[in-house]
Structure 1
Amino acid sequence: MAPCDPGDPASPLVPAGRDHLLRFAPNPPAGIAWDVAELTDGNGDPVGPLDSSDIGPRHWCLMARAIAQAYDSHDGFVILHGTDTMAYTGSALSFLLDNLAKPVVLTGSQRPISAKDGDAAANFGNALAIAGHRATGLPLVPEVVICFGDVLLRANRATKVSTTAARGFDSPNYPRLGRLGGRIDIDRSLVLSPPERAFSAHAILSGTVAVVSLYPGVTGADLGRMLDLDGVDGYVLRSFGSGNAPTDRGVIAAIAGATAAGKVIVNITQCLEGGVEMGLYQAGHGLLEAGVVDGGRLTVEAALAKLTWLLATGSAESARSRMPIPLRGEM
């Protein structure tokens, strides 16, 4: 990011391009050869630079395609990304990149790369070191990760936890893969094992998934309208506590009506830690009977990405059966 008015450091921040990045980028760790490629569309035309608030499924597919095209000629990949939707992108790429055997490291910063004493240069340097593991001697991390502040996190377990702190992301339901600082320490026992099959990438996401949050006072009529959006094939339902919902008959009827109409609804908790245990309380049993899928400890980012990918690559029934199954270390 950079001030929209170069003469006014206090002006609103806008996405910065390749030249601005290279002007302030840190020197890479010794032995790492790297290049910078801008995201392009199917015609080879540049896409962006983009604020992360504008990044969605189309861009996830373009990133997956770009990685696939450069996969054989590179040891690893660093994606520079705004923080607001970084965990969504990281989660999506973890599903789009099948049998990934190389590091894909997302990073960004809480302050612009041009800011004095900012966090961008350190985050970028750490990400390069992890992606360039052959040169740095660090352990191979064959998965999509977020490198930010002093932690390395599995991307589909991560969520943004602060708009200001240097440690802007955390992984409440899974241990941190590594510690960053004066040195980089990676816990090999927590990292996914290299795959035995050949790498491939999915570059198409069809259908739409929406996120709906329950709130005190929600009515069946309100929820029915939310669960009947045109073109939406699935929903991530953010419920209370360990997967609970109002026991009001209208609310349960609205949810049951949506699942009967073929919508896939996945239940996740609104809490930062813990997960869904549908049926543990009577208030959650109604969702189970209404045909809602237990999302376990999925983050909202991972749930959205996983359901979108499953609906794009298979039937609704297949998505229902595969959502509770760990596929990329996401649960």
Structure 2
Amino acid sequence: MTNRPNILLLYTGGTIGMVKDYKTNALKAFDFNQLLEKIPEIEQLNCNIIPVSFEKPIDSSNMNTSYYIKIAEIIENKYQNFDGFVVLTGSDTMSYTSSAISFMFENLQKPVIFTGSQLPIGDLRTDAKENLITSIEIASTRKNNKPVIREVCLYFEYKLYRANRTTKINAEQFEAFTSMNYPPLAESGVHLHFNNNLLLKPKKNQSKLIVRKKLDSRIVILKLYPGITETVVKSIITIPNLKGIILETYGSGNAPTEKRFIDLLKQAIKNDIRIVNVTQCAGGSVLMGHYETSVALKKIGVVNGKDITTETAVAKMMYLLGENLSKKDFKYYFEQSLRGEIG
């Protein structure tokens, strides 16, 4: 191939963009224009890399919907001029951010790869170099002159995942992420191996990229626990202007059967609050009506989150609430796989 792919490298903040000042031992932001200086191996990649950074890089703990929109707009504005995108963010909220971006981009035909690291780029045993190099390589991989990846992904420690299937499971190990309900899309070893049958295939005759920027963050996560009181549940579902509740239930979607608890949820749904049932378990799926303890939830109109992760349920709810759908349509679209996020 004569034409080298153009890859946009977007740094929003996070550990991967930090280097240690060895005089003070303090971490400071890395200038990505000096990328070759720190990682000369990048020159071996068959692509042109253009780095762009947020003017003020943010810690991922400060990530919010306005930054989601900022990331989406940078990609939208550069979409025609680039063949792939690598987004560097802090790993703590990466699953939330990358999931949200997956819903914001409709008809995506190019790779958007999120990555980061557990250690700064200049550290002796850093995981930053491998994560960065392989993410760029994945973003620039083409077959028959088309990108192999045409969806939003997350790459970390030798594995490429569908972004909206991931969860951060470890704050210390390099293998920080997992995807319990969907296998890796690619694995990096001696060779870069893509599991082609697992990749999202864009529909034929797809129209141009649509970017959905109306996100409604008036939602809450209500995690059930044995002994949760009526007062706690009531105080949460009566939050002013609340629009959606992610209900984290036990096992395969089970919850208390007490009439007072069910009545509170029923009243919330009557008040036009959308409630989605997701499991607290790391893996597996909600099976509404499978046990008696979830029959009542199904009956009152709680939405079945199936095998969606909590992080992705939050992103999907923000997206669908922003579309201002009827109760019936919200339930229909939430229970459908829109970006490969549920099985």
Alignment TM-score > 0.5, same fold: yes
Q: What's the offset of the Cα at 1:176?
A: 0.9
Q: Structure 1 residues 279 and 50, CA, compared in 2 at 3 Å: closer, same or farther?
A: same
Q: What does residue range 207-226 of structure 1 map to in structure 2 within 5 Å? A: 207-226=217-236
**d(CA) in 2 for partners of 1:55 and 1:248?**
37
Count how many residue pairs are aligned between Structure 1 and Structure 2. 322
Q: Secondary structure at the match of 2:260?
A: helix
Question: Which amino acid counterpart does residue 156 of structure 1 have in structure 2?
Answer: N
Q: Deviations over 1:19-78 (max 9, x none)?
A: 676753453243210111123xxxxxx3x3111111111111111111111111100000
Which structure 2 segments of 5+ residues have no match? 1-14
Check if 1:323 corresponds to 2:331.
no
Q: What does residue range 48-127 of structure 1 map to in structure 2 within 5 Å? A: 48-127=56-135
**d(CA) in 1 for partners of 2:34 and 2:245?**
39
One of 45, 48, 65 as aligned partner of 1:30:
45
Q: What does residue range 1-331 of structure 1 map to in structure 2 within 5 Å? A: 1=15, 2=18, 7-9=23-25, 18=32, 24-28=38-42, 29-39=44-54, 46=55, 48-134=56-142, 140-195=148-203, 196-197=205-206, 198-317=208-327, 318-331=329-342
Q: What's the offset of the Cα at 1:135?
A: 9.7
Question: Which amino acid counterpart does residue 109 of structure 1 have in structure 2?
Answer: S
**d(CA) in 2 for partners of 1:296 and 1:151?**
24
Question: Which amino acid counterpart does residue 168 of structure 2 have in structure 1?
Answer: K
**d(CA) in 2 for partners of 1:218 and 1:280?**
23
Q: What's the offset of the Cα at 1:93?
A: 0.8
Q: Deviations over 1:71-109 (max 9, x none)?
A: 111000000011101011111111101100100000001
TM-score, normalised with respect to structure 2: 0.88
TM-score, normalised with respect to structure 1: 0.91
Q: Structure 1 residues 76 and 136, CA, compared in 2 at 3 Å: closer, same or farther?
A: farther
Q: Structure 1 residues 291 and 314, CA, compared in 2 at 3 Å: closer, same or farther?
A: same
Check the 8 A contact 2:19/2:122 in 1, yes or no: no
**d(CA) in 2 for partners of 1:102 and 1:179?**
19
Check the 8 A contact 1:32/1:135 in 2, yes or no: no
Check the 8 A contact 1:239/1:245 in 2, yes or no: yes
Question: Which amino acid counterpart does residue 112 of structure 1 have in structure 2?
Answer: P
Q: Deviations over 1:175-205 (max 9, x none)?
A: 1111113321111110001343121212232
Check the 8 A contact 1:30/1:136 in 2, yes or no: no
Check the 8 A contact 2:85/2:113 in 1, yes or no: yes
Q: Secondary structure at the match of 2:79?
A: helix
Check the 8 A contact 1:130/1:138 in 2, yes or no: no
Q: Secondary structure at the match of 1:203?
A: coil
Q: What's the offset of the Cα at 1:113?
A: 0.9
Check the 8 A contact 2:111/2:147 in 1, yes or no: no
Q: Secondary structure at the match of 1:37?
A: strand
Which residue does the alignment assign to 1:43? none
Q: Deviations over 1:230-274 (max 9, x none)?
A: 232111111000001111222111111111110001000000110
Which residue does the alignment assign to 2:5? none
Which residue does the alignment assign to 1:42? none
**d(CA) in 2 for partners of 1:31 and 1:134?**
11
Q: CA RMSD in A?
A: 2.2
Q: Structure 1 residues 310 and 300, CA, compared in 2 at 3 Å: closer, same or farther?
A: same
**d(CA) in 1 for partners of 2:250 and 2:198?**
30
Q: What's the offset of the Cα at 1:286?
A: 1.9
